[in-house]
């Protein structure tokens, strides 16, 4: 397919890398990551092939919720640097051809934000209606409490003004009244401000909660889809190539509405939480059928929109869209101890520890991620197989400092270890054994594998752009799919089981005039006249094939040519 198309719609086959400035690299030796430190590490991402950096919140904050409790949407947390440092970071990233997006956290503010301080000063405050108030706490749905380990209600009493304010998350994070046109205008200004400084879009936090009916006032709320359509239109007017990547953890029929249905005029991309959760069920069972079913059910996004695929993110590994029994299967396989679980619905572990450090299996899972239809998103440290630190509370267990070297503080900081506030994992997943420096020199390392996958993924735009078909493999443990685009076809096959097996596929539309060339290793497989092809799959094996005529097939490394 034409590369000019993939350039115009860059997000459809981007490689997105999520990082937290606070935990990525310390540039001034105070024990806290900052923009100056991150600048010095951008070449690591460039060498991997990352095309888009997603920044977790870097704004001023009391830091009660790891930066998601914001006190100023127009500045940088002084611990992390200055606006000048941010602009320098953007400049260096752009020089490497890497776009940058950032978290848009406008569902709520910190209770220390000047808007809320003013709002709670008087019922007549000009900012009063920027938040949601009620004379009595409205009836709570216990399922609506996002953090049941910390909160038992969605309402908090304010003694000074004798009303309750609404908080979907923590009590120190009052929800903004995003139905208020003044608040909507302010959100647009926030987007416009950061776009002027170079951002290529935003990852929108907590999308389903941005506009919701929470009081019985009888007032009709604006349609949330009109709000997102207006936000997207504003974004497009400022920069037609900018994106909104939405965190929308809903069933497919509800989720697809946030694309703007067939129009595609709301969110540009949405995370696919359903297939992610089914993937873990397939991994736990060593049975590909749950994942295959999810992809068969998944609706196609609008033409210029895209799904974002992932294996891990910065939050708990949520399993909320599975049944209780399915969730228990995954807990038993990957997090049997209560300390590994969180909120009764997820895991606070990273993938390598869940898979017991089995490198073959870990490599297979990331091969699966990069071949699934959609745009892959990596969480920092995934490329080297970092583990979690369960001694840290809650979701923060997976947000430990990046492990660059085997030396003091894992190369994250030159500070006295006592000044590094977030402790690293120890043992088999500590920086002495898992770090960038060692893996850069090891051709068989996970980092080398991820780099290789990114290169081949970028060479196979069909995976992201093409029409995909889940294939029947005849083996429950083996997942296979093909992607077709502009007359080109690629096929990916993954063995989720620990036993070797033989696989036979039938590729409609193909005969013996075409061959399959393995893209991850040398080798070519013949297709018979009925489109059938058979081959072995090793324990946790993975194979990517390109279908082509023999004379145009990619060459093996040993070919004389």
Whether residue 419 is contained in a domain is answered as yes
Strand order in 163-166's β-sheet? 133-134, 163-166, 155-158
Residue that has been written with the tokens 């873990």 in this structure: 280
Mean pLDDT, to the nearest integer, of 88-114? 97
Whether residue 174 is contained in a domain is answered as no
372 in the same domain as 521: no
Mean pLDDT, to the nearest integer, of 361-368? 98
Q: Is the pLDDT of residue 217 over 80?
A: no
pLDDT of residue 220: 56
Rounded to an integer, what distance in angstroms lies between the CA atom of residue 226 and that of residue 234? Answer: 12
Phi and psi dihedrals of 341, rounded to 5? -100, 160
Poorest-pLDDT segment among 137-151, 244-258, 361-375: 137-151
Mean pLDDT, to the nearest integer, of 483-507? 97
pLDDT of residue 219: 56
In 56-122, beta strands by DSSP E: 99-104
Q: Is the pLDDT of residue 213 over 60?
A: no
CB-based burial label for 293 (10 Å; 0-12, 13-18, 19+):
middle
Q: Is the pLDDT of residue 218 over 70?
A: no
219 in the same domain as 83: yes
344 in the same domain as 384: yes
Quick: pLDDT tens for 106-131: 999 999 999 999 999 999 999 999 99
Whether residue 437 is contained in a domain is answered as yes
Closest residue by Cα to residue 390 from 355, 345, 425, 430: 425
For residue 155, give its domain range. Answer: 114-166
Poorest-pLDDT segment among 145-159, 225-239, 488-502: 145-159
* Measured CA distances, 173 to 112, 178, 297 (Å): 9, 14, 36
Percent of the chain topping pLDDT 70: 96
pLDDT band for position 316 (50/70/90)? very high
pLDDT band for position 262 (50/70/90)? confident
Bigger pLDDT: 188 or 216?
A: 188
Residue that has been written with the tokens 């007017």 in this structure: 237
Q: What is the DSSP letter of 154?
A: S
Which residues in 252-266 are b (16+ Cβ under 10 Å) and which e? eeebbebbbeeebbb
344 in the same domain as 218: yes
Mean pLDDT, to the nearest integer, of 241-258? 96
Residue that has been written with the tokens 């898992």 in this structure: 434
Give the CATH number of the domain where residue 118 resides. Answer: 3.90.400.10
397 in the same domain as 258: yes
404 in the same domain as 330: yes
pLDDT band for position 554 (50/70/90)? confident
**β-pair partners for 548:** 515
pLDDT of residue 558: 61
DSSP 498-529: SS-EEEEEE-TT--TT-EEEESSSS-EEE--T
Which residues in 81-98 are b (16+ Cβ under 10 Å) and which e? beeebbeebbebbeeeeb
Residues serving a catalytic function are: 205, 247
Rounded to an integer, what distance in angstroms lies between the CA atom of residue 300 and that of residue 264? Answer: 11
Helix axes 289-297, 273-285, angle to 10 degrees: 160
Mean pLDDT, to the nearest integer, of 191-209? 96
211 in the same domain as 118: no
Whether residue 462 is contained in a domain is answered as no
206 in the same domain as 129: no
Percent of the chain topping pLDDT 90: 88
Last residue of a domain, one of 144, 166, 188: 166
151 in the same domain as 35: no
Whether residue 124 is contained in a domain is answered as yes
Give the CATH number of the domain where residue 357 resides. Answer: 3.20.20.80
Rounded to an integer, what distance in angstroms lies between the CA atom of residue 160 and that of residue 364? Answer: 57
Poorest-pLDDT segment among 68-72, 139-143, 255-259, 415-419: 139-143
State how many domains the chain has.
Answer: 3
The pTM of the full predicted model, rounded to 2 decimals, is 0.96
438 in the same domain as 370: yes
412 in the same domain as 345: yes
Whether residue 342 is contained in a domain is answered as yes
Residue 536 CB neighbour total at 10 angstroms: 11
Give the CATH number of the domain where residue 518 resides. Answer: 2.60.40.1180
Q: Determine the 3-state secondary structure of 124 from DSSP.
A: coil
Whether residue 555 is contained in a domain is answered as no
pLDDT band for position 182 (50/70/90)? very high
pLDDT band for position 222 (50/70/90)? low
Q: Is the pLDDT of residue 416 over 90?
A: yes
Q: For residues 271 and 229, is the Cβ–Cβ distance under 8 A?
A: no
Q: Is the pLDDT of residue 141 over 70?
A: no
pLDDT band for position 540 (50/70/90)? very high
Whether residue 557 is contained in a domain is answered as no
pLDDT of residue 433: 98
Residue 226 CB neighbour total at 10 angstroms: 11
pLDDT band for position 490 (50/70/90)? very high
pLDDT of residue 142: 62
Tell me the CB-side half-sphere exposure of residue 343, using CA atoms within 13 A.
22
pLDDT band for position 147 (50/70/90)? confident
Q: Is the pLDDT of residue 469 over 60?
A: yes
Residues 6+ positions from 420 with CB-CB distance below 8 Å: 26, 31, 401, 409, 412, 413
pLDDT of residue 214: 59
472 in the same domain as 449: no
Closest residue by Cα to residue 484 from 453, 501, 517, 507: 507
């Amino acid at each position: 397919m034409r590369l000019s198309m993939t350039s115009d719609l860059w997000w459809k086959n981007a490689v997105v890398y999520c990082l937290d400035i606070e935990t990525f690299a310390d540039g001034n030796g105070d024990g806290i990551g900052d923009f100056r430190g991150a600048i010095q590490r951008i070449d690591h991402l460039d060498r991997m092939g990352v095309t888009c950096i997603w920044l977790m919140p870097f704004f001023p904050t009391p830091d009660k919720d790891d930066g998601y409790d914001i006190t100023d949407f127009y500045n940088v947390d002084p611990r992390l640097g200055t606006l000048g440092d941010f602009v320098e970071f953007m400049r260096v990233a752009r020089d490497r051809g890497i776009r940058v997006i950032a978290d848009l956290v406008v569902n709520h503010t910190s209770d220390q934000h000047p808007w809320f301080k003013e709002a709670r000063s008087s019922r007549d405050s000009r900012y009063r209606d920027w938040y949601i108030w009620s004379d009595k706490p409205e009836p709570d749905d216990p399922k609506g409490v996002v953090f049941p380990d910390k909160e038992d209600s969605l309402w908090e009493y304010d003694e000074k003004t004798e009303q309750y304010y609404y908080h979907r998350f923590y009590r120190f994070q009052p929800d903004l009244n995003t139905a208020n046109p003044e608040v909507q205008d302010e959100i647009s200004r926030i987007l416009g401000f950061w776009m002027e400084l170079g951002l290529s879009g935003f990852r929108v936090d907590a999308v389903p909660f941005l506009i919701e009916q929470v009081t019985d006032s009888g007032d009709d709320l604006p349609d949330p889809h009109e709000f997102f359509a207006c936000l997207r239109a504003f974004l497009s007017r400022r920069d037609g190539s900018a994106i909104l990547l939405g965190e929308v953890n809903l069933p497919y029929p509800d989720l697809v509405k946030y694309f703007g249905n067939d129009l595609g005029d709301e969110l540009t991309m949405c995370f696919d939480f359903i297939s992610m959760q089914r993937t873990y069920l397939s991994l736990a069972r060593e049975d590909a059928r749950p994942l295959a079913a999810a992809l068969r059910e998944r609706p196609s996004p609008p033409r210029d929109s895209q799904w974002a695929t992932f294996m891990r993110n910065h939050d708990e590994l949520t399993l909320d869209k599975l049944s209780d029994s399915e969730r228990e299967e995954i807990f038993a396989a990957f997090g049997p101890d209560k300390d590994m679980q969180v909120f009764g619905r997820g895991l606070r572990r990273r993938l390598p520890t869940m898979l017991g450090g089995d490198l073959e299996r870990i490599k297979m899972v990331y091969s699966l991620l990069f071949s699934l239809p959609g745009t892959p998103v990596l969480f920092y440290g995934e490329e080297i197989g970092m583990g979690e630190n369960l001694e840290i509370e809650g979701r923060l267990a997976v947000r430990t400092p990046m492990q660059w070297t085997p030396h003091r503080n894992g190369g994250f900081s030159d500070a006295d270890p006592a000044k590094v506030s977030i402790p690293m994992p120890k043992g088999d997943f500590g920086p002495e054994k898992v770090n960038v420096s060692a893996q850069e020199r090891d051709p068989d390392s996970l980092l080398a594998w991820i780099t290789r996958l990114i290169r081949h993924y970028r060479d196979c735009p069909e995976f992201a752009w093409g029409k995909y078909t889940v294939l029947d493999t005849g083996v429950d443990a083996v997942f296979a799919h093909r992607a077709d685009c502009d007359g080109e076809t690629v096929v990916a096959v993954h063995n989720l089981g620990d036993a070797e097996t033989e696989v036979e596929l039938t590729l409609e539309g193909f005969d013996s005039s075409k061959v399959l060339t393995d893209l991850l290793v040398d080798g070519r497989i013949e297709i018979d006249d009925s489109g059938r092809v058979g081959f072995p799959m090793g324990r946790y094996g993975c194979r990517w094939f390109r279908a082509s005529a023999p004379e145009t097939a990619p060459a093996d490394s040993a070919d004389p040519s």
